[in-house]
Structure 1
């Protein structure tokens, strides 16, 4: 069931910072930190689940189970990437219904041609704006809970220019999108123009090393944005930490001497994954089980 708190945050103009989650460890860590929302990154989820590029290879079947697991395992509302809706209008309807049933609070749909490519990478092509508007209308009709939010993204900026991207953003808002996401503006001035031009909650995609400048939350709010997602910061940090740890292991032949800052701690990860509850369960039922009686 969609969390009403996310829709309320937009209505109350509380700026939202959403970290990217890509597996259940990243989801559990982020879930305990007090964020208003979490963002299921397509790039990170495809990379961690399939080990391939986010280039339209992952299917609805690959993704719906993953995003549903994230939503069920987190108390924080989850916005999840759903690429193009994995096909035409009927596919979009099926995708929206599946994501909503899985407990997601917001779904992101984009106007790329299939197979899609990750934002901030070259070679992205978009479908006609009118076709995307139909997808948005189908998505709005398919949802059952009004707290389930439709995030509509356009990748038109990179190939067709800023004016076309803004035009599409306005069309998407008119078609019923709750949040408009114009991907890959290339300067703060472009982001200001977007903020002036579209009267809907706007999403900023903050990708380290991407095409868009990373601005402070206060500045994003000032120029008209409502939410910033950080899809890559988690998996980039994890990959770097793994490389350092594995390099130490390869060089020294053991994990002795790893800096304490490089380890989360076995006790902490046990707690994060819910082992104390498991131990309490085992303790309770071991006291009254027939096997326990036989051992006395």
Structure 2
């Protein structure tokens, strides 16, 4: 599956990677036609722990959640966040191996405040866990610092870089110009405001190959659940709330044919 991710990084177009958070959401993403999905720390923290994404979800919890997604994904590769459990190069290797056993094909590694330590982690991962695709997220107090970190991480062995907070065409163009040949990934944060949303054609021309959508599905699911709960409280029913038909749920979870694994077939949701 990591080969599929690497192929996306050398393609001439953008691949959108939606966030998933449980087997049902993973099955829905696959049935919608997505070629890769993303398990973010924020999604795990919200849906498993009911907490904000302040490094609340441990690497063990992310691996545990990832391990139940495999049957629903049917071979579609899974990316996962790597913010905790990656303190030293040795810790990074151990955690990446645990992720790999859980079915994770790629990681988004957050660099933190110390770029030199991040480079050491990346080099260790590239050498010792080459079967896991590595997206290095680079932060910085300025665009110049972010670019310098991206350059260092690519040189250390990262498969792609994610310049944190860089979304405007001019800034992405500068990153692209200074890092020729390095695939770029962006995080289409649900909290981002102000910048014009670039089209896929524009992003592809700027060197962007993956666009992550970590929380769109979580927010949509929780909004729908909120409407259902409010309707039950106010009216005693959900007749006026848009819902997935029960028969579709049965098909999604494999109950309609007596099986326990979700079937990867096209259904109308």
TM-score, structure 1 normalization: 0.81
Secondary structure of the corresponding residue to residue 258 of structure 2: helix
1:294 matched to which residue of 2?
none
Partner residue of 2:206 out of 205, 208, 223? 223
Matched, 1:278 2:258: yes
Matched, 1:65 2:64: yes
1:208 matched to which residue of 2?
190
Q: How many residues align?
A: 258
Partner residue of 1:267 out of 224, 236, 247? 247
Deviation (angstroms), 1:85: 4.0
Distance 1:68 1:47 in 2: 18
2:162 matched to which residue of 1?
181
CA contact (8 A) 2:160 2:183 kept: yes
Deviation (angstroms), 1:228: 0.7
Matched, 1:150 2:134: yes
CA contact (8 A) 2:162 2:184 kept: yes
Deviation (angstroms), 1:212: 7.3
Deviation (angstroms), 1:74: 0.7
1:244 matched to which residue of 2?
227
1:293 matched to which residue of 2?
none
Distance 2:127 2:179 in 1: 23
Secondary structure of the corresponding residue to residue 103 of structure 2: coil
CA contact (8 A) 1:184 1:212 kept: no
The farther-off stretch of 272-281 and 163-172 is: 272-281
Q: 1:211 to 1:86 in 2, by over 3 A?
A: farther
Matched ranges for 1:92-241 at <5 A? 92-112=92-112, 126-127=113-114, 129-143=115-129, 145=131, 148-156=132-140, 160-185=141-166, 187-199=168-180, 200-210=182-192, 213=195, 214-241=197-224
CA contact (8 A) 2:110 2:138 kept: yes
CA contact (8 A) 1:208 1:233 kept: yes
CA contact (8 A) 2:43 2:214 kept: yes
Structure 2: state its 5+ residue gaps. Answer: 262-269
CA contact (8 A) 1:96 1:142 kept: no
Q: 1:178 to 1:81 in 2, by over 3 A?
A: same
Q: 1:96 to 1:211 in 2, by over 3 A?
A: farther
CA contact (8 A) 2:86 2:121 kept: no
Q: 1:89 to 1:267 in 2, by over 3 A?
A: same
**Higher relative contact order (CA closer than 8 Å, sequence separation 6+):** 2
Distance 1:212 1:109 in 2: 26
Structure 1: state its 5+ residue gaps. Answer: 113-125, 282-296
Q: 1:280 to 1:43 in 2, by over 3 A?
A: closer
CA contact (8 A) 2:13 2:200 kept: no
2:264 matched to which residue of 1?
none
Distance 2:217 2:170 in 1: 27
CA contact (8 A) 1:187 1:212 kept: no
Distance 2:81 2:183 in 1: 17
**Larger Cα-atom Rg:** 1
Q: 1:8 to 1:180 in 2, by over 3 A?
A: same
